[in-house]
Structure 1
Amino acid sequence: MPVLRHIIADMIFDLHCHSKASDGALSPAELLQAAEDANIDLLSLTDHDTIAGYLELREHPTSVKLIPGIEFSCQWNGINIHIVGLDVDPDNAQLRTAIENQQAVRIERARTIAAKLEKLGMPGALEGALKYCSDPGRVGRPHFAQFLVEAGYVKNAKQAFDKWLGNGKCGDVKSLWPEIETVNHWIQEAGGVSVMAHPLRYKLTFSKLNRLIRHFHETGGRAIEASDQQGNKNLLKRMQELSTELGLLASAGSDFHSPEWAWCRLGQVSPLPSAMKPVWTAFKNTPFTAAIDID
Protein backbone atom coordinates (compact mmCIF):
# COMPACT_ATOMS: atom_id res chain seq x y z
CA MET A 1 0.00 0.00 0.00
CA PRO A 2 2.48 2.70 -1.11
CA VAL A 3 -0.09 5.54 -0.94
CA LEU A 4 -1.06 4.73 2.65
CA ARG A 5 2.60 4.40 3.65
CA HIS A 6 3.21 7.83 2.16
CA ILE A 7 0.29 9.31 4.14
CA ILE A 8 1.64 7.90 7.39
CA ALA A 9 5.23 8.92 6.68
CA ASP A 10 4.27 12.49 5.82
CA MET A 11 1.64 13.00 8.53
CA ILE A 12 2.38 15.84 10.94
CA PHE A 13 1.11 15.08 14.42
CA ASP A 14 1.37 16.34 17.98
CA LEU A 15 -0.18 14.25 20.74
CA HIS A 16 0.89 16.30 23.76
CA CYS A 17 0.30 20.03 24.11
CA HIS A 18 -1.34 22.56 26.42
CA SER A 19 -3.62 25.58 26.27
CA LYS A 20 -4.89 28.21 28.70
CA ALA A 21 -7.37 25.61 29.90
CA SER A 22 -4.46 24.47 32.10
CA ASP A 23 -1.04 26.14 32.00
CA GLY A 24 -0.49 27.03 28.36
CA ALA A 25 -0.14 30.53 26.91
CA LEU A 26 -2.69 30.20 24.08
CA SER A 27 -6.44 29.81 24.27
CA PRO A 28 -7.74 26.53 22.84
CA ALA A 29 -8.91 28.36 19.70
CA GLU A 30 -5.52 30.08 19.30
CA LEU A 31 -3.74 26.76 19.73
CA LEU A 32 -5.95 25.15 17.09
CA GLN A 33 -5.18 28.02 14.71
CA ALA A 34 -1.47 27.53 15.39
CA ALA A 35 -1.88 23.82 14.58
CA GLU A 36 -3.58 24.69 11.29
CA ASP A 37 -0.80 27.16 10.48
CA ALA A 38 1.75 24.41 11.15
CA ASN A 39 -0.15 22.02 8.82
CA ILE A 40 -0.67 19.54 11.65
CA ASP A 41 -2.87 16.60 10.62
CA LEU A 42 -3.44 14.92 14.00
CA LEU A 43 -3.58 16.84 17.28
CA SER A 44 -4.42 16.02 20.88
CA LEU A 45 -4.85 18.84 23.37
CA THR A 46 -3.72 17.24 26.62
CA ASP A 47 -4.23 19.88 29.28
CA HIS A 48 -3.34 19.02 32.86
CA ASP A 49 -6.21 17.29 34.63
CA THR A 50 -8.93 18.84 32.44
CA ILE A 51 -10.68 18.34 29.10
CA ALA A 52 -12.21 21.83 29.12
CA GLY A 53 -10.02 22.97 26.22
CA TYR A 54 -11.01 20.02 24.06
CA LEU A 55 -14.70 20.62 24.82
CA GLU A 56 -14.31 24.16 23.49
CA LEU A 57 -12.92 22.82 20.22
CA ARG A 58 -14.81 19.66 19.43
CA GLU A 59 -17.50 21.43 17.39
CA HIS A 60 -15.03 23.90 15.89
CA PRO A 61 -14.66 23.60 12.10
CA THR A 62 -11.06 22.65 11.36
CA SER A 63 -8.85 20.72 8.97
CA VAL A 64 -7.06 19.15 11.97
CA LYS A 65 -8.13 15.74 13.25
CA LEU A 66 -8.68 16.30 16.98
CA ILE A 67 -8.10 13.48 19.47
CA PRO A 68 -9.61 14.02 22.93
CA GLY A 69 -6.83 13.89 25.49
CA ILE A 70 -5.76 14.77 29.01
CA GLU A 71 -2.53 14.70 31.05
CA PHE A 72 -2.96 13.31 34.55
CA SER A 73 -0.50 13.86 37.38
CA CYS A 74 0.31 10.82 39.53
CA GLN A 75 3.19 9.33 41.49
CA TRP A 76 5.40 6.27 41.60
CA ASN A 77 7.83 5.60 44.47
CA GLY A 78 7.64 9.26 45.51
CA ILE A 79 8.34 10.54 41.98
CA ASN A 80 5.94 12.84 40.16
CA ILE A 81 4.89 11.07 36.92
CA HIS A 82 2.64 12.32 34.12
CA ILE A 83 0.32 9.99 32.24
CA VAL A 84 -1.40 11.16 29.06
CA GLY A 85 -4.81 9.71 28.22
CA LEU A 86 -5.48 9.70 24.47
CA ASP A 87 -8.75 8.96 22.67
CA VAL A 88 -10.70 9.17 25.92
CA ASP A 89 -14.48 9.57 25.89
CA PRO A 90 -14.92 13.18 27.08
CA ASP A 91 -18.45 12.41 28.28
CA ASN A 92 -17.47 9.45 30.45
CA ALA A 93 -18.75 9.84 34.02
CA GLN A 94 -15.68 8.19 35.59
CA LEU A 95 -13.42 10.61 33.72
CA ARG A 96 -15.42 13.62 34.89
CA THR A 97 -15.23 12.41 38.51
CA ALA A 98 -11.47 11.83 38.18
CA ILE A 99 -11.03 15.37 36.88
CA GLU A 100 -12.97 16.78 39.84
CA ASN A 101 -10.75 14.79 42.22
CA GLN A 102 -7.56 16.00 40.53
CA GLN A 103 -8.65 19.64 40.58
CA ALA A 104 -9.35 19.41 44.32
CA VAL A 105 -5.83 18.01 44.76
CA ARG A 106 -4.42 20.88 42.65
CA ILE A 107 -5.94 23.47 44.95
CA GLU A 108 -4.56 21.78 48.07
CA ARG A 109 -1.18 21.33 46.40
CA ALA A 110 -1.08 25.00 45.42
CA ARG A 111 -1.67 26.00 49.04
CA THR A 112 1.21 23.75 50.11
CA ILE A 113 3.57 25.18 47.46
CA ALA A 114 2.63 28.74 48.46
CA ALA A 115 3.26 28.00 52.14
CA LYS A 116 6.70 26.58 51.34
CA LEU A 117 7.62 29.58 49.22
CA GLU A 118 6.46 31.94 51.97
CA LYS A 119 8.75 30.19 54.47
CA LEU A 120 11.59 30.92 52.05
CA GLY A 121 10.74 34.62 52.04
CA MET A 122 8.42 34.75 49.03
CA PRO A 123 4.96 35.69 50.33
CA GLY A 124 1.80 36.07 48.26
CA ALA A 125 2.61 33.19 45.92
CA LEU A 126 -0.87 31.66 45.85
CA GLU A 127 -2.60 34.92 45.01
CA GLY A 128 0.16 35.70 42.52
CA ALA A 129 -0.16 32.33 40.77
CA LEU A 130 -3.95 32.58 40.60
CA LYS A 131 -3.62 35.86 38.68
CA TYR A 132 -2.39 33.75 35.76
CA CYS A 133 -5.02 31.02 36.12
CA SER A 134 -8.72 31.56 35.47
CA ASP A 135 -9.77 28.49 37.49
CA PRO A 136 -8.16 27.63 40.87
CA GLY A 137 -8.75 23.95 40.10
CA ARG A 138 -6.27 24.17 37.24
CA VAL A 139 -3.45 26.03 38.97
CA GLY A 140 -0.01 24.53 38.44
CA ARG A 141 3.70 25.16 38.84
CA PRO A 142 3.99 27.23 35.63
CA HIS A 143 1.57 29.73 37.17
CA PHE A 144 3.82 29.96 40.23
CA ALA A 145 6.78 30.42 37.88
CA GLN A 146 5.02 33.40 36.30
CA PHE A 147 4.50 34.90 39.76
CA LEU A 148 8.17 34.39 40.69
CA VAL A 149 9.26 36.16 37.50
CA GLU A 150 6.82 39.04 38.00
CA ALA A 151 7.89 39.46 41.64
CA GLY A 152 11.55 39.61 40.63
CA TYR A 153 12.69 36.47 42.44
CA VAL A 154 13.94 34.92 39.18
CA LYS A 155 14.67 36.12 35.66
CA ASN A 156 12.58 33.59 33.75
CA ALA A 157 10.41 30.49 34.09
CA LYS A 158 13.33 28.10 33.55
CA GLN A 159 15.18 29.64 36.47
CA ALA A 160 12.02 29.37 38.60
CA PHE A 161 11.92 25.63 37.98
CA ASP A 162 15.66 25.18 38.40
CA LYS A 163 15.66 26.97 41.78
CA TRP A 164 12.25 26.43 43.35
CA LEU A 165 9.69 24.42 41.38
CA GLY A 166 11.41 21.58 39.51
CA ASN A 167 11.82 17.94 40.53
CA GLY A 168 13.24 17.67 44.03
CA LYS A 169 12.78 21.40 44.76
CA CYS A 170 10.48 22.91 47.38
CA GLY A 171 7.64 23.35 44.91
CA ASP A 172 7.72 19.72 43.82
CA VAL A 173 4.77 18.54 45.92
CA LYS A 174 3.62 15.09 44.82
CA SER A 175 2.39 13.25 47.92
CA LEU A 176 -1.21 14.23 47.16
CA TRP A 177 -1.32 12.72 43.66
CA PRO A 178 -2.81 9.24 43.03
CA GLU A 179 -0.72 6.22 42.10
CA ILE A 180 -0.07 5.24 38.48
CA GLU A 181 -2.49 2.30 38.61
CA THR A 182 -5.35 4.61 39.62
CA VAL A 183 -4.77 6.91 36.66
CA ASN A 184 -4.43 3.98 34.26
CA HIS A 185 -7.79 2.71 35.53
CA TRP A 186 -9.44 6.11 34.96
CA ILE A 187 -8.20 6.21 31.37
CA GLN A 188 -9.24 2.61 30.70
CA GLU A 189 -12.73 3.32 32.07
CA ALA A 190 -12.97 6.25 29.66
CA GLY A 191 -12.06 3.98 26.74
CA GLY A 192 -8.72 5.67 26.19
CA VAL A 193 -5.07 4.72 25.79
CA SER A 194 -2.66 5.36 28.69
CA VAL A 195 0.62 6.91 27.55
CA MET A 196 3.63 7.56 29.77
CA ALA A 197 4.64 11.17 29.13
CA HIS A 198 8.28 12.24 28.55
CA PRO A 199 9.89 9.30 30.46
CA LEU A 200 13.44 10.61 30.07
CA ARG A 201 12.64 13.85 31.88
CA TYR A 202 12.26 12.10 35.23
CA LYS A 203 16.07 11.91 35.42
CA LEU A 204 16.09 8.22 36.37
CA THR A 205 18.86 5.69 35.95
CA PHE A 206 18.01 3.02 33.40
CA SER A 207 17.47 0.53 36.24
CA LYS A 208 14.77 2.74 37.80
CA LEU A 209 13.32 3.67 34.41
CA ASN A 210 13.09 -0.04 33.62
CA ARG A 211 11.10 -0.65 36.82
CA LEU A 212 8.87 2.36 36.17
CA ILE A 213 8.02 1.32 32.60
CA ARG A 214 7.37 -2.28 33.61
CA HIS A 215 5.09 -1.16 36.47
CA PHE A 216 3.26 1.19 34.12
CA HIS A 217 2.75 -1.67 31.63
CA GLU A 218 1.66 -4.17 34.31
CA THR A 219 -0.99 -1.76 35.64
CA GLY A 220 -2.62 -1.08 32.29
CA GLY A 221 -0.30 1.33 30.50
CA ARG A 222 -0.39 0.81 26.74
CA ALA A 223 1.96 3.34 25.15
CA ILE A 224 4.97 5.53 25.80
CA GLU A 225 6.26 8.81 24.41
CA ALA A 226 9.11 7.11 22.59
CA SER A 227 10.73 10.11 20.91
CA ASP A 228 12.69 12.76 22.75
CA GLN A 229 14.70 15.40 20.92
CA GLN A 230 16.43 16.54 24.09
CA GLY A 231 17.06 13.21 25.83
CA ASN A 232 20.16 11.08 26.22
CA LYS A 233 20.42 9.13 22.93
CA ASN A 234 21.76 5.94 24.53
CA LEU A 235 19.08 5.95 27.23
CA LEU A 236 16.44 6.70 24.59
CA LYS A 237 17.53 3.67 22.54
CA ARG A 238 17.44 1.36 25.56
CA MET A 239 14.01 2.69 26.55
CA GLN A 240 12.70 2.08 23.03
CA GLU A 241 14.06 -1.49 23.08
CA LEU A 242 12.37 -2.18 26.42
CA SER A 243 9.10 -0.68 25.19
CA THR A 244 9.23 -2.84 22.05
CA GLU A 245 9.88 -5.93 24.20
CA LEU A 246 6.79 -5.15 26.29
CA GLY A 247 4.63 -4.44 23.25
CA LEU A 248 4.01 -0.82 24.15
CA LEU A 249 2.78 1.51 21.41
CA ALA A 250 4.72 4.62 20.43
CA SER A 251 3.43 8.16 20.92
CA ALA A 252 5.07 11.56 20.76
CA GLY A 253 4.27 15.19 21.34
CA SER A 254 5.95 18.54 21.71
CA ASP A 255 4.63 19.29 25.22
CA PHE A 256 3.96 22.75 23.79
CA HIS A 257 3.04 25.43 26.32
CA SER A 258 4.00 28.75 24.78
CA PRO A 259 5.28 30.17 21.46
CA GLU A 260 8.08 31.72 23.53
CA TRP A 261 9.44 28.29 24.46
CA ALA A 262 11.75 27.65 21.51
CA TRP A 263 12.66 24.15 22.71
CA CYS A 264 9.10 22.77 22.28
CA ARG A 265 7.36 24.18 19.22
CA LEU A 266 3.91 22.90 18.31
CA GLY A 267 4.29 20.00 15.89
CA GLN A 268 8.04 19.74 16.54
CA VAL A 269 8.06 15.98 17.08
CA SER A 270 10.75 13.43 16.27
CA PRO A 271 9.78 10.44 14.09
CA LEU A 272 8.39 7.42 15.93
CA PRO A 273 10.68 4.37 16.19
CA SER A 274 10.12 2.09 13.18
CA ALA A 275 10.05 -1.01 15.41
CA MET A 276 7.04 0.24 17.40
CA LYS A 277 3.42 0.55 16.31
CA PRO A 278 1.97 4.08 16.48
CA VAL A 279 -0.45 4.76 19.31
CA TRP A 280 -3.20 5.82 16.92
CA THR A 281 -3.58 2.19 15.76
CA ALA A 282 -5.39 1.65 19.09
CA PHE A 283 -7.80 4.60 18.81
CA LYS A 284 -11.46 3.55 18.90
CA ASN A 285 -13.40 6.65 19.90
CA THR A 286 -11.85 8.80 17.16
CA PRO A 287 -10.35 6.43 14.56
CA PHE A 288 -7.94 8.00 12.10
CA THR A 289 -7.86 6.75 8.50
CA ALA A 290 -4.06 6.69 8.37
CA ALA A 291 -3.98 4.45 11.43
CA ILE A 292 -4.67 1.27 9.46
CA ASP A 293 -2.16 -1.46 10.30
CA ILE A 294 0.01 -1.82 7.21
CA ASP A 295 2.25 -4.69 8.41
Structure 2
Amino acid sequence: MTTYLNADLHCHSVVSDGTMAPEDLAARAKANGVELWALTDHDEIGGQQRAAAAARSLGMAYLTGTEISVSFAGTTVHIVGLGFDPDNPQLAQGLAATRGGRGGRAREMATQLAQAGISGAYEGALQFVGNPELVSRTHFARFLVDTKVCRDTAEVFRKYLIEGKPGYVPHRWAALSDAVRWITEAGGVAVIAHPARYKLTANEEYALFSEFKAHGGQGVEVVTGSHSAAEYVTYGAMAHEFGLAASRGSDFHSPEESHTDLGALPLLPGTLTPVWELLAERVRPAA
Protein backbone atom coordinates (compact mmCIF):
# COMPACT_ATOMS: atom_id res chain seq x y z
CA MET A 1 0.00 0.00 0.00
CA THR A 2 1.17 3.53 -0.72
CA THR A 3 0.78 7.00 0.75
CA TYR A 4 -1.65 7.78 -2.05
CA LEU A 5 -4.46 5.76 -0.56
CA ASN A 6 -7.91 7.00 0.41
CA ALA A 7 -7.72 5.66 3.97
CA ASP A 8 -10.11 6.92 6.65
CA LEU A 9 -8.87 5.65 10.00
CA HIS A 10 -10.91 7.73 12.45
CA CYS A 11 -14.71 7.79 12.73
CA HIS A 12 -17.47 6.98 15.22
CA SER A 13 -20.66 4.95 15.18
CA VAL A 14 -23.72 4.75 17.41
CA VAL A 15 -21.71 2.32 19.55
CA SER A 16 -20.07 5.44 21.02
CA ASP A 17 -21.09 9.01 20.12
CA GLY A 18 -21.80 8.79 16.40
CA THR A 19 -25.30 8.68 14.95
CA MET A 20 -24.90 5.93 12.33
CA ALA A 21 -24.67 2.14 12.61
CA PRO A 22 -21.31 0.55 11.73
CA GLU A 23 -22.86 -0.99 8.61
CA ASP A 24 -24.15 2.41 7.41
CA LEU A 25 -20.78 4.02 8.03
CA ALA A 26 -19.11 1.29 5.99
CA ALA A 27 -21.51 1.92 3.10
CA ARG A 28 -20.92 5.69 3.30
CA ALA A 29 -17.15 5.21 3.35
CA LYS A 30 -17.29 2.89 0.33
CA ALA A 31 -19.55 5.30 -1.59
CA ASN A 32 -17.05 8.09 -0.90
CA GLY A 33 -14.15 6.12 -2.35
CA VAL A 34 -12.52 4.95 0.88
CA GLU A 35 -10.14 2.05 0.19
CA LEU A 36 -8.99 1.32 3.76
CA TRP A 37 -11.31 2.01 6.70
CA ALA A 38 -11.30 1.79 10.50
CA LEU A 39 -14.12 2.37 12.99
CA THR A 40 -12.62 4.02 16.09
CA ASP A 41 -15.37 4.32 18.70
CA HIS A 42 -14.46 6.02 21.98
CA ASP A 43 -13.07 3.57 24.56
CA GLU A 44 -15.08 0.78 22.93
CA ILE A 45 -14.57 -2.10 20.50
CA GLY A 46 -18.11 -3.48 20.55
CA GLY A 47 -18.74 -2.50 16.92
CA GLN A 48 -15.60 -4.06 15.46
CA GLN A 49 -17.03 -7.35 14.21
CA ARG A 50 -19.94 -5.59 12.53
CA ALA A 51 -17.68 -2.97 10.94
CA ALA A 52 -15.17 -5.53 9.66
CA ALA A 53 -17.90 -7.76 8.22
CA ALA A 54 -19.59 -4.80 6.52
CA ALA A 55 -16.29 -3.59 5.05
CA ARG A 56 -15.46 -7.03 3.67
CA SER A 57 -18.92 -7.41 2.16
CA LEU A 58 -18.39 -4.13 0.30
CA GLY A 59 -14.92 -5.04 -0.94
CA MET A 60 -13.16 -2.53 1.34
CA ALA A 61 -10.03 -3.30 3.37
CA TYR A 62 -10.36 -2.86 7.13
CA LEU A 63 -8.27 -2.19 10.26
CA THR A 64 -9.60 -2.62 13.79
CA GLY A 65 -9.75 0.65 15.70
CA THR A 66 -10.62 2.50 18.90
CA GLU A 67 -10.01 5.97 20.37
CA ILE A 68 -8.86 6.02 24.00
CA SER A 69 -9.23 9.08 26.24
CA VAL A 70 -6.16 9.82 28.37
CA SER A 71 -5.22 12.57 30.80
CA PHE A 72 -2.01 14.46 30.04
CA ALA A 73 -0.86 17.77 31.52
CA GLY A 74 -4.36 18.44 32.83
CA THR A 75 -5.83 17.97 29.34
CA THR A 76 -7.87 15.16 27.80
CA VAL A 77 -5.87 13.75 24.89
CA HIS A 78 -7.07 11.03 22.52
CA ILE A 79 -4.98 8.07 21.40
CA VAL A 80 -6.23 6.06 18.44
CA GLY A 81 -5.38 2.36 18.34
CA LEU A 82 -5.25 0.63 14.95
CA GLY A 83 -4.75 -2.95 13.82
CA PHE A 84 -4.96 -4.62 17.25
CA ASP A 85 -6.41 -8.01 18.14
CA PRO A 86 -9.98 -7.19 19.20
CA ASP A 87 -10.08 -10.30 21.39
CA ASN A 88 -7.12 -9.23 23.53
CA PRO A 89 -8.32 -9.40 27.17
CA GLN A 90 -6.03 -6.67 28.55
CA LEU A 91 -7.25 -4.18 25.96
CA ALA A 92 -10.89 -5.08 26.64
CA GLN A 93 -10.40 -4.72 30.41
CA GLY A 94 -8.61 -1.39 30.05
CA LEU A 95 -11.33 0.05 27.84
CA ALA A 96 -14.04 -1.17 30.23
CA ALA A 97 -12.29 0.55 33.14
CA THR A 98 -12.00 3.79 31.16
CA ARG A 99 -15.71 3.69 30.27
CA GLY A 100 -16.68 2.88 33.85
CA GLY A 101 -16.94 6.38 35.26
CA ARG A 102 -19.12 7.89 32.54
CA GLY A 103 -22.49 7.06 34.15
CA GLY A 104 -21.78 8.87 37.40
CA ARG A 105 -20.23 11.76 35.52
CA ALA A 106 -23.34 12.06 33.33
CA ARG A 107 -25.64 12.23 36.35
CA GLU A 108 -23.48 14.94 37.90
CA MET A 109 -23.59 16.89 34.63
CA ALA A 110 -27.39 16.66 34.66
CA THR A 111 -27.52 17.92 38.25
CA GLN A 112 -25.42 20.94 37.35
CA LEU A 113 -27.53 21.67 34.28
CA ALA A 114 -30.69 21.46 36.42
CA GLN A 115 -29.18 24.07 38.75
CA ALA A 116 -28.69 26.23 35.66
CA GLY A 117 -32.39 25.87 34.80
CA ILE A 118 -32.26 22.94 32.37
CA SER A 119 -34.21 19.99 33.77
CA GLY A 120 -34.41 16.39 32.55
CA ALA A 121 -31.01 16.49 30.85
CA TYR A 122 -29.90 12.99 31.90
CA GLU A 123 -33.08 11.31 30.62
CA GLY A 124 -32.95 13.53 27.56
CA ALA A 125 -29.36 12.60 26.77
CA LEU A 126 -30.18 8.90 27.07
CA GLN A 127 -32.60 9.26 24.13
CA PHE A 128 -29.55 9.84 21.91
CA VAL A 129 -27.38 7.06 23.35
CA GLY A 130 -26.70 3.87 21.43
CA ASN A 131 -24.49 2.39 24.16
CA PRO A 132 -25.56 3.18 27.77
CA GLU A 133 -21.96 2.71 28.97
CA LEU A 134 -20.86 5.63 26.82
CA VAL A 135 -23.24 8.50 27.63
CA SER A 136 -21.13 11.58 26.90
CA ARG A 137 -21.17 15.35 26.51
CA THR A 138 -22.11 14.87 22.86
CA HIS A 139 -25.38 13.19 23.86
CA PHE A 140 -26.21 16.04 26.25
CA ALA A 141 -25.42 18.49 23.46
CA ARG A 142 -27.84 16.76 21.08
CA PHE A 143 -30.58 16.93 23.74
CA LEU A 144 -30.05 20.67 24.26
CA VAL A 145 -30.21 21.26 20.52
CA ASP A 146 -33.31 19.08 20.18
CA THR A 147 -35.08 21.03 22.95
CA LYS A 148 -34.05 24.39 21.37
CA VAL A 149 -31.91 25.45 24.32
CA CYS A 150 -29.11 26.06 21.80
CA ARG A 151 -28.92 26.35 18.02
CA ASP A 152 -26.24 23.71 17.49
CA THR A 153 -23.86 21.46 19.39
CA ALA A 154 -21.02 23.98 19.12
CA GLU A 155 -23.11 26.52 21.04
CA VAL A 156 -23.95 23.90 23.69
CA PHE A 157 -20.30 23.15 24.34
CA ARG A 158 -19.40 26.84 24.40
CA LYS A 159 -22.13 27.76 26.90
CA TYR A 160 -22.47 24.66 29.05
CA LEU A 161 -20.04 21.79 28.54
CA ILE A 162 -16.48 23.13 28.61
CA GLU A 163 -14.38 23.79 31.69
CA GLY A 164 -15.80 26.60 33.81
CA LYS A 165 -19.33 26.25 32.44
CA PRO A 166 -22.33 24.89 34.40
CA GLY A 167 -22.50 21.40 32.85
CA TYR A 168 -18.81 20.56 32.79
CA VAL A 169 -17.67 17.65 34.95
CA PRO A 170 -14.13 16.29 34.52
CA HIS A 171 -13.51 12.57 34.18
CA ARG A 172 -10.42 10.63 35.21
CA TRP A 173 -9.19 8.96 32.05
CA ALA A 174 -6.50 6.37 31.41
CA ALA A 175 -2.81 7.21 31.71
CA LEU A 176 -0.94 7.76 28.43
CA SER A 177 1.38 4.86 29.22
CA ASP A 178 -1.54 2.49 29.84
CA ALA A 179 -3.37 3.38 26.63
CA VAL A 180 -0.27 2.91 24.48
CA ARG A 181 0.56 -0.36 26.25
CA TRP A 182 -2.97 -1.80 25.80
CA ILE A 183 -2.81 -1.09 22.07
CA THR A 184 0.73 -2.27 21.40
CA GLU A 185 0.47 -5.43 23.51
CA ALA A 186 -2.64 -6.31 21.48
CA GLY A 187 -0.52 -6.12 18.34
CA GLY A 188 -1.69 -2.68 17.23
CA VAL A 189 -0.19 0.74 16.57
CA ALA A 190 -0.90 3.73 18.83
CA VAL A 191 -1.53 7.10 17.15
CA ILE A 192 -1.89 10.59 18.65
CA ALA A 193 -5.29 11.81 17.43
CA HIS A 194 -5.82 15.37 16.04
CA PRO A 195 -2.93 16.97 18.02
CA ALA A 196 -3.81 20.53 17.00
CA ARG A 197 -7.03 20.33 19.04
CA TYR A 198 -5.30 20.24 22.41
CA LYS A 199 -4.62 23.52 24.18
CA LEU A 200 -1.07 22.52 25.09
CA THR A 201 1.88 24.88 25.31
CA ALA A 202 4.80 24.19 22.99
CA ASN A 203 6.69 22.57 25.87
CA GLU A 204 3.70 20.42 26.85
CA GLU A 205 3.19 19.30 23.26
CA TYR A 206 6.86 18.36 22.97
CA ALA A 207 6.54 16.40 26.22
CA LEU A 208 3.42 14.62 24.89
CA PHE A 209 5.20 13.50 21.73
CA SER A 210 8.34 12.53 23.65
CA GLU A 211 6.50 10.48 26.28
CA PHE A 212 4.23 8.91 23.67
CA LYS A 213 7.25 7.79 21.65
CA ALA A 214 9.03 6.52 24.78
CA HIS A 215 6.02 4.38 25.72
CA GLY A 216 5.99 2.76 22.27
CA GLY A 217 3.65 5.03 20.30
CA GLN A 218 4.29 4.91 16.57
CA GLY A 219 1.97 7.31 14.77
CA VAL A 220 0.30 10.73 14.66
CA GLU A 221 -2.75 11.98 12.77
CA VAL A 222 -1.47 14.53 10.28
CA VAL A 223 -4.44 14.88 7.94
CA THR A 224 -7.64 14.95 9.98
CA GLY A 225 -10.98 16.73 10.00
CA SER A 226 -10.08 19.37 12.59
CA HIS A 227 -6.67 20.29 11.12
CA SER A 228 -6.07 23.19 8.75
CA ALA A 229 -3.77 22.93 5.73
CA ALA A 230 -1.07 24.71 7.74
CA GLU A 231 -1.47 22.16 10.53
CA TYR A 232 -0.98 19.32 8.04
CA VAL A 233 2.47 20.81 7.45
CA THR A 234 3.16 21.38 11.17
CA TYR A 235 2.32 17.83 12.20
CA GLY A 236 3.92 16.32 9.14
CA ALA A 237 7.13 17.96 10.38
CA MET A 238 6.47 16.61 13.90
CA ALA A 239 6.07 13.12 12.43
CA HIS A 240 9.48 13.45 10.80
CA GLU A 241 11.09 14.90 13.93
CA PHE A 242 9.87 12.09 16.20
CA GLY A 243 10.13 9.27 13.67
CA LEU A 244 6.37 8.64 13.67
CA ALA A 245 4.18 7.25 10.91
CA ALA A 246 1.38 9.49 9.65
CA SER A 247 -2.33 8.70 9.84
CA ARG A 248 -5.37 10.14 8.06
CA GLY A 249 -8.94 10.21 9.34
CA SER A 250 -12.03 12.39 9.12
CA ASP A 251 -13.23 11.98 12.75
CA PHE A 252 -16.70 11.67 11.22
CA HIS A 253 -19.60 11.40 13.71
CA SER A 254 -22.77 12.41 11.88
CA PRO A 255 -23.94 13.76 8.51
CA GLU A 256 -25.60 16.65 10.35
CA GLU A 257 -22.75 17.54 12.71
CA SER A 258 -19.44 16.70 11.04
CA HIS A 259 -17.66 19.24 8.86
CA THR A 260 -15.58 16.59 7.06
CA ASP A 261 -17.19 13.56 5.44
CA LEU A 262 -15.69 10.09 5.35
CA GLY A 263 -12.98 9.86 2.70
CA ALA A 264 -13.08 13.57 1.84
CA LEU A 265 -9.68 14.64 3.20
CA PRO A 266 -6.58 15.40 1.11
CA LEU A 267 -4.17 12.51 0.72
CA LEU A 268 -1.16 12.24 3.01
CA PRO A 269 1.95 14.09 1.80
CA GLY A 270 4.21 11.68 -0.07
CA THR A 271 7.21 12.40 2.14
CA LEU A 272 5.58 10.71 5.16
CA THR A 273 5.41 7.04 6.11
CA PRO A 274 1.72 6.07 6.20
CA VAL A 275 0.66 4.24 9.33
CA TRP A 276 -0.90 1.44 7.30
CA GLU A 277 2.57 0.42 6.08
CA LEU A 278 3.28 -0.61 9.69
CA LEU A 279 0.10 -2.67 9.71
CA ALA A 280 0.21 -4.45 6.36
CA GLU A 281 -0.11 -7.84 8.04
CA ARG A 282 -3.05 -6.65 10.15
CA VAL A 283 -5.17 -5.20 7.35
CA ARG A 284 -8.24 -7.36 6.89
CA PRO A 285 -8.47 -7.73 3.14
CA ALA A 286 -11.60 -7.17 1.14
CA ALA A 287 -13.66 -10.27 0.40
Match of 1:266 in 2: 262
Shift of 1:228: 4.3
CA contact (8 A) 2:225 2:250 kept: no
- CA distance in 1 between partners of 2:236 and 2:248 (Å): 12
Residue in structure 2 matching 1:94, options 90, 96, 111:
90
CA contact (8 A) 1:87 1:284 kept: no
Match of 1:133 in 2: 129
CA contact (8 A) 2:110 2:122 kept: yes
Matched, 1:212 2:216: no
Moved beyond 6 Å, runs of 4+: none
1:95-244 equivalences under 5 Å are 95-166=91-162, 169-228=165-224, 230-231=226-227, 236-244=232-240
Q: Which residue identity lines up with residue 64 of structure 1 in the other structure?
A: M
- CA distance in 1 between partners of 2:130 and 2:227 (Å): 33
Aligned length: 283
Matched, 1:278 2:274: yes
Shift of 1:185: 1.2
Pair 217,27 (structure 1): closer, same or farther in 2 beyond 3 Å: same
Shift of 1:282: 1.3
Shift of 1:207: 3.1
Gaps of 5+ in 2: none
- CA distance in 1 between partners of 2:123 and 2:281 (Å): 39
Shift of 1:191: 1.1
Matched, 1:27 2:59: no
Q: Which residue identity lines up with residue 211 of structure 2 in the other structure?
A: H
- CA distance in 1 between partners of 2:122 and 2:16 (Å): 16
- CA distance in 2 between partners of 1:210 and 1:9 (Å): 26
Which SS does the other structure have where 1:182 is aligned? helix
Match of 1:247 in 2: 243
Q: Which residue identity lines up with residue 197 of structure 1 in the other structure?
A: A
Shift of 1:219: 2.1
Q: Which residue identity lines up with residue 88 of structure 1 in the other structure?
A: F
Gaps of 5+ in 1: 1-6, 290-295
Shift of 1:234: 5.1
TM-score (norm 1): 0.88
Residue in structure 1 matching 2:65, options 66, 69, 76:
69
- CA distance in 1 between partners of 2:166 and 2:232 (Å): 29
- CA distance in 1 between partners of 2:206 and 2:228 (Å): 15
Q: Which residue identity lines up with residue 30 of structure 1 in the other structure?
A: D
Q: Which residue identity lines up with residue 200 of structure 2 in the other structure?
A: L
- CA distance in 2 between partners of 1:151 and 1:220 (Å): 45
Q: Which has the higher contact order (CA 8 A, sep 6+)?
A: 2
TM-score (norm 2): 0.90
CA contact (8 A) 1:45 1:70 kept: yes
Deviations 1:160-195 (A, max 9, x none): 122222466454544411211111111112111111
Aligned-residue identity in percent: 37
CA contact (8 A) 1:15 1:45 kept: yes
Pair 41,49 (structure 1): closer, same or farther in 2 beyond 3 Å: same
Residue in structure 1 matching 2:6, options 8, 12, 17:
12
Name the stretch that deviates more: 219-228 or 63-72. Answer: 219-228
Which SS does the other structure have where 1:224 is aligned? strand
Which SS does the other structure have where 1:71 is aligned? strand
Please, what is the CA RMSD of the aligned residues? 2.2
